[in-house]
Amino acid sequence: MDILLLLLGFIFMIVGILGSFLPIIPGPPLSWLGLLLLFLTEGIENDWWFLGITFVVAIAILVLDYTIPAIGTKKFGGSKGGVIGSVTGLIVAVAFPVIGIFGIIIWPFIGALTGEIIAGTKKDKAFKAAIGSFIGFLTGTFLKFALSISYLVLFVLKAAEHKSQLFGPASEWVKSLF
């Protein structure tokens, strides 16, 4: 059972990292679920303080991810249209990955600019607001990615620290498969 929990936890870690870039997937909470699954194994003693603190941080980053683009847009004089356009641009980048990794950077900016223009903002102000929305989007993405990578590192370190309890002697582990 520990191997299954460990494998599922690692899968949650990878999906959490992907969720740092994909707006549909809540990356940090999924990475935290990976940590939780690791601590639910019999080989690792539960540390509820650690899990509680990492959960609060994951939720805080998730909330910040939704507020930072709005703050960036408002700071640069934009509207809600810029934020909506930025998220729409990211969805376009994910749905049509023609440009590759640069699409994840370019499309949110184009979306924010388009959203501002549709909202009726003048072009120079729309461009400035789009930059603010884009900077906010990049900041949120960076925070989610950094946290998800940090949780992966903690996951790997904790699993490596308790590898003998998780995997036991190799011969017993192989026998348990059959």
Alpha-carbon span 159 to 37, nearest angstrom: 11
* Distance separating alpha carbons of residues 158 and 51, to the nearest angstrom: 13
67 vs 116, residue with greater confidence? 116
pLDDT of residue 100: 63
Query: Looking at the predicted structure, is the pLDDT value of residue 177 above 60?
Result: no
Q: CB-based contacts of 136: which residues, under 8 Å, 6+ apart?
A: 68, 69, 70, 71, 72, 73, 83, 86
Task: Give pLDDT, residue 97.
Answer: 67
pLDDT band at 176 (very low <50, low <70, confident <90, very high): low
d(CA 70, CA 47): 36
Of 92, 90, 91, 70, the closest CA to residue 81 belongs to: 70
CA angle 169, 36, 69 (to 5 degrees): 140
Q: What is the pLDDT of residue 98?
A: 66
Rounded to the nearest 10°, the torsion over CA 122, 128, 134, 135 is -160
Q: Which pLDDT score is estimated for 156?
A: 93
Output the pTM of the full model: 0.77
Tell me the pLDDT tens digit for each residue of 128-149.
888 887 788 788 889 999 999 9
pLDDT band at 169 (very low <50, low <70, confident <90, very high): low
Residue 171 pLDDT: 43
Chain length of the chain: 178
Instruction: Tell me the per-residue pLDDT of 44-103, one tens digit each, with 9 for 90 and over.
Output: 888 899 999 999 999 999 888 877 877 777 788 777 888 788 778 877 877 776 666 677
Residues 6-59 have pLDDT tens digits of 999 999 999 999 998 877 788 999 999 999 999 999 888 888 999 999 999 999
**Largest Cα span, the chain:** 70
| Beta carbons of 168 and 41 less than 8 angstroms apart | no
